[in-house]
Amino acid sequence: MPNDNEIIDNIANKEYEFGFVTDIEMDTAPVGLDESTIRYISEKKNEPEWLLNWRLKGFQAFQREKLPEWQNFPMPSIDFQKISYYAAPKSKKKYDSLDQVDPELLATFEKLGIPLSEQKTLAGVAVDVVFDSISVKTTYKEKLAELGIIFCSFGEAVQEHPELVQKYLGSVVPYSDNIFAALNAAVFSDGSFVYIPKGVRCPMELSTYFRINTENTGQFERTLIIADEGSYVSYLEGCTAPMRDENQLHAAVVELIALGNAEIKYSTVQNWYPGDKEGKGGIYNFVTKRGICKGDHGKISWTQVETGSSITWKYPSVILQGDHSTGEFYSVAVTRNRQIADTGTKMHHIGRNTRSRIISKGISAGHGNNSYRGLVQIGPKADEARNFTQCDSLLIGDQCGAHTFPYIESKNNSATVEHEATTSKIGEDQIFYLNQRGIDSEKAVALIINGYAREVLNQLPMEFAVEAQKLLSITLEGSVG
C-alpha cells in the first residue's frame, strides 16, 4: 500500500490527457483590445448595427468596471492587451458537410472523443462544436428543425433569428453585470443558441463542445437558451484546452430563460487545462451563468462537474421570478495541484411558493483550494419560499483548503431556509472496509469519491454521467492511504 506522500505526489503528477495542440491554419485577430477590435469582430461576423452598438456599450462598461476583490483568492493580474480576441480556423466559416472539414480538425475531435459525424455521435445527442472562437459544426440541426427547435451557433442565430436574439440577449446577464460579462459582451465571438417552441419536449440532449487551441487567445463564447411555455430541454457543455505555460482567459456568459411551465436542465463538464503541478499555465475560467424562471411553474436546474482550469470563478444562478418556480444547483468541484475553485450559486426567490435546492460537493487535494460561495435570498413577496442547501467538503492531504461562504438573506416570515455543511476526510475505516473485501486502496478511493459525488452525478444525462465518473476517478485516483 503506498504511503500518503507517494499518493499525494501521484495525484499531483497526473497528466492532463487533452493537452495536445492541433496544427491548423488560423485566422487570428491581432493581439490587443480597443474599439477597433470590437468593430473587427462585428464586421467579421457581418453583424447588424444594433449588435455592434450593444457590444460597444459592453466595452464601455468593461472599461469602467474593476476586477472583483471579494473572492477567496488573490485575483491574478490579467493583461487584457496581450490577448487575441478572435481566432477561427481558416477556410470556410461553417462546414456544410463533413467532407469539407479540415481532416486535422476532424482528427482533433475524434481524439477528444467528440466525433463530428452524425453516424458516430452518441445516440440522441446533438452537438455544436466550437473551436477557439468559432462554431465549426452543429449536428442533427435539420432533424431538430422539424419540431421547430432552433439549435445553431450564436452567429447564425444573429443572422437568421435576429428578433429572438435581440429580445433576449442581455436580458438575464446585462452587459454591465461584472467586468468579465462586460468583456464578453464586447468581444464574444460565437457560442450556441437554442430556442424550444411552446409545448415541445426536445427529444435529444443538446450539447456544445468547446476547444481552445490557438496560443494567446481567449475564449469568449455566449450561450442563450430560451424555453418557451411548457417546453423542456436538456443541454450539456464540455470543454478542453492544450497544455501551455501561459494562462488563457475563458470568460463566457450563459443566459437561460424559462417561460411558464418550461424546464431547462443545463449540465457542464468542465475540463479546461488546469496548469501543471507548480501551478504554471492553465485556464482562467471566469464565467457568468444565470437563468430566470420568468413564468409560473418554471424550472431551471444547473449541474456542474468542475475538474479543470487553474482558477474557476463561477456562480450559476437562478432568478425565481414566477410563482411556484424551482431552481436547482448540483455541483462537484475538484481542485488539486495549485488549482483554485471559487464556485457556488445564487438563488433569488422573488415569486410566491418558489423552491430551490443546492447540493455542492467540494474535493480538495494537493495544494488546491476549494470555496463554496452561495447566496439564498428571499424577497418580501416570496411567501412560503423554501430552500435546502447541502454543502460538503472533502479534504485529501494537509496542504489543501476547503471553504464555505453561504449567505442567507430572508425578508419573509413564511420562508423556510435550511443550510447544512460538513467538512471531512475520507474515512480510513471506509477504505479498510473495502480493502477487506478485496478492493485496493486506489479503487476504494475512486468508489468513495464517486459515492460522495453521486447525488450530483445522478443529475447528469446518462451518457455524460459515465464520462464524468471516469473523469473524477482519473483526477483523484489513488489519493488516500
C-beta of 12: minimal distance to other proteins in Å?
15
Q: In the window 46-75, what residues touch other proteins (CB under 8 A)?
A: 70
12 or 236: whose CB is closer to other proteins? 12
Q: What is the CA radius of gyration of the chain?
A: 22
Nearest to 269 by CA among 72, 10, 463: 463
C-beta of 406: minimal distance to other proteins in Å?
6
Residues 6+ away with beta carbon under 8 Å from 283: 212, 241, 247, 248, 249, 250, 272, 273, 274, 308, 309, 310, 311
Q: Out of 162, 174, 401, 481, name the contact with other proteins by CB under 8 A.
A: 401
* 400 makes contact with other proteins (CB under 8 A): yes
Q: In the window 79-98, what residues touch other proteins (CB under 8 A)?
A: none
> Maximum CA pair distance of the chain?
69
C-beta of 399: minimal distance to other proteins in Å?
8
Here the cell at position 279 is: 501551478
* 378 makes contact with other proteins (CB under 8 A): yes
| Stretch binding other proteins (CB under 8 A), from 97-105, 131-139, 294-302, 403-411 | 403-411
* Binding residues for other proteins, total number by CB under 8 A: 34
159 or 399: whose CB is closer to other proteins? 399
CA angle 154, 313, 411 (to 5 degrees): 100
Nearest to 479 by CA among 453, 447, 455, 445: 445
Residue labelled with grid coordinates 493537452: 19
207 or 339: whose CB is closer to other proteins? 339
222 or 361: whose CB is closer to other proteins? 361
Q: How far is CA 361 from CA 135, 263, 421, 424, 456, in A?
A: 32, 24, 10, 11, 8
Count of CB atoms situated within 10 Å of the CB of 146: 8
255 or 323: whose CB is closer to other proteins? 323
C-beta of 434: minimal distance to other proteins in Å?
19
Q: In the window 408-437, what residues touch other proteins (CB under 8 A)?
A: 408-425
| Nearest-angstrom CA–CA distance, 454 and 425 | 17
* 350 makes contact with other proteins (CB under 8 A): no
* 396 makes contact with other proteins (CB under 8 A): yes
Nearest to 136 by CA among 184, 87, 204, 185: 87
Indicate the DSSP class of residue 219. Answer: B
Q: Out of 202, 395, 449, 453, name the contact with other proteins by CB under 8 A.
A: 395
450 three-class SS: helix
C-beta of 432: minimal distance to other proteins in Å?
16
Q: Identify whether the C-beta of residue 76 lies closer than 8 Å to the C-beta of residue 311.
A: yes
C-beta of 371: minimal distance to other proteins in Å?
9
Which sign, positive or negative, has the C-alpha torsion 12, 14, 18, 24? positive
C-beta of 261: minimal distance to other proteins in Å?
19
Q: Identify whether the C-beta of residue 163 lies closer than 8 Å to the C-beta of residue 50.
A: no
| Nearest-angstrom CA–CA distance, 71 and 227 | 32
* 347 makes contact with other proteins (CB under 8 A): no
* 174 makes contact with other proteins (CB under 8 A): no
Q: Identify whether the C-beta of residue 54 lies closer than 8 Å to the C-beta of residue 385.
A: no
279 or 379: whose CB is closer to other proteins? 379
100 or 414: whose CB is closer to other proteins? 414
Q: Out of 129, 172, 212, 402, name the contact with other proteins by CB under 8 A.
A: 402
C-beta of 305: minimal distance to other proteins in Å?
22
* 203 makes contact with other proteins (CB under 8 A): no
C-beta of 378: minimal distance to other proteins in Å?
8
* 407 makes contact with other proteins (CB under 8 A): yes
| Nearest-angstrom CA–CA distance, 293 and 377 | 15
10 or 166: whose CB is closer to other proteins? 10
Q: Out of 57, 93, 277, 403, name the contact with other proteins by CB under 8 A.
A: 403
C-beta of 110: minimal distance to other proteins in Å?
40
Q: What residue ranges bind other proteins (CB under 8 A)? A: 70, 378, 393, 395-425
